[in-house]
Amino acid sequence: MSAAILIVAEHDGSRLNVSTAKCVSCARALQGAEIAIAVCAADASQVASQAAELAGVARVLTVENPANAHALAAVLAPQIVALAGPFAVVLGPSTTFGKDLMARIAGLLGAPQVSDIMAIESPTRFRRPVYAGNAILTVESAGAAKVVGTVRMASFEAAGGGGAAPIEKAAVSVELPNHTRFITVSAAKSDRPDLQTAARVISGGRALGSADGFKILYSLADKLGAAVGASRAAVDAGYAPNEMQVGQTGKIIAPELYVAVGISGAIQHLTGIKDARTIVAINKDGEAPIFEVADFGLVGDLFQIIPEIEKLVG
């Protein structure tokens, strides 16, 4: 069954986020899907050409407006709604950008939203996790004209390149609100790989004891080219910033290798890592639930083990 699918691009004004390529993979799972990407930006040229290169994309629609300099859901939503007419499915990534925006679009459309799509079985039938991933739910839209969805990042590989889709400027004339203003974003500058796309991730829990304690993880991560994550407990305690949180309400990741250090393994944390290819748990408590999901478990003092590993791989 063929379906027209619109994907809302996530970007920072110059670089297309890999989350968009994952949405394309989700959409391509539908045979014959006709995929368009919408790029809303102040100047869309750079991002649009990156979107046009993604394999499987039929066209790229650009909406240029100075108001799009920062991604504000209240500003973007009416513009996407203006483009959405011909599309049966409107997708965005299940990142904070997409989760914030797509539900506002669904609200304006009066359409149902399927959050965290892990599989798309038809233009109206989807699978998604509920209860922190402890159940998988199949949902089917019952006659709605459109379905809005957010795509679970850990469930899809990024689509490849090599495409050359035409780029069209879309004429969108809707009134945009000015009740919401961007002030600032404080992103810690880091040379480490991005947590959501890294092949290797090392995460620390409360057992690290302090922000200083995390240094042994950063040091090992840099040796391995790994990203560093944290449990909710470690973030709550102030040992690591919020953007490092892995779990139900933080980031849901699927690295090749996940090393959980001093993390007991609450179900809310496990839901964030269950798609990891290999899980390693290092914990002094041999009864910790993290060992139930770990491929390799090592019971012991992390402050001895981590420097040892670093020496062995160095």
Partner 1 sequence: MKRILVGIKRVVDFNVRIRVKPDGSGVATDGVKMSINPFDEIALEEALRIRERGGAEEVIVATVGPADCQQQLRSALAMGADRALHVQADGLIEPLVVARALLKLVEREQPFLVILGKQAIDDDNGQTGQVLAALWNRPQATYASKVELTGDKARVTREVDAGLETLEVDLPAVLTTDLRLNEPRYVKLPDIMKAKKKPLETLTLAGLGVEQRQQLKLVRFEPPPQRQKGVRVKDAAELVEQLKKKGLL
Site for partner 1 in 146-175 (CB under 8 A): none
CB of 248 to partner 1, least distance (A): 7
If one asks whether residue 108 binds partner 1 (CB under 8 A), the answer comes out as yes
Q: Which is nearer to partner 1, 60 or 246 (CB)?
A: 246
CA distances from 202 to 110, 138, 165, 180 (A): 41, 32, 38, 37
Site for partner 1 in 200-259 (CB under 8 A): 200, 224, 232, 235-236, 241-243, 248-249, 251, 256-257
Q: Which is nearer to partner 1, 222 or 256 (CB)?
A: 256
Q: Which is nearer to partner 1, 203 or 248 (CB)?
A: 248
Binding mask 30-49 for partner 1 (x = CB under 8 A): --------------------
Phi and psi of 244, rounded to 5°? -90, -5
CB of 206 to partner 1, least distance (A): 15
Q: Which is nearer to partner 1, 56 or 297 (CB)?
A: 297
Site for partner 1 in 54-73 (CB under 8 A): 72-73
If one asks whether residue 193 binds partner 1 (CB under 8 A), the answer comes out as no
Long-range contacts, stretch 305-312, CB < 8 angstroms, 24+ apart: 306/216, 306/217, 306/220, 306/261, 306/282, 307/216, 309/220, 310/216, 310/219, 310/220, 310/223
For residue 223, the SS3 value is helix
Q: How far apart are CA 55 and CA 50, in angstroms?
A: 11
Q: Can you tell me which of 100, 193, 197, 218 binds partner 1, judged by CB under 8 A?
A: 100
Q: How many residues bind partner 1 (CB under 8 A)?
A: 86
Which pairing describes strands 119-122 and 125-130: parallel, antiparallel, or unpaired?
antiparallel
Tokens 């957010």 belong to residue: 150
CB of 307 to partner 1, least distance (A): 9
Q: How far apart are CA 281 and CA 162, in angstroms?
A: 39
Q: Can you tell me which of 5, 57, 114, 260 binds partner 1, judged by CB under 8 A?
A: 114
Q: Which is nearer to partner 1, 35 or 261 (CB)?
A: 261
In this structure, the dihedral spanned by the alpha carbons of residues 104, 11, 65 and 170, taken in order and rounded to 10 degrees, is: -80
Q: Which is nearer to partner 1, 168 or 236 (CB)?
A: 236
Contact 39, 8 (CB under 8 A): no
Q: What size, in residues, is the chain?
A: 314
Q: How far apart are CA 54 and CA 49, in angstroms?
A: 9
CB of 8 to partner 1, least distance (A): 14
If one asks whether residue 183 binds partner 1 (CB under 8 A), the answer comes out as yes
CB of 232 to partner 1, least distance (A): 7
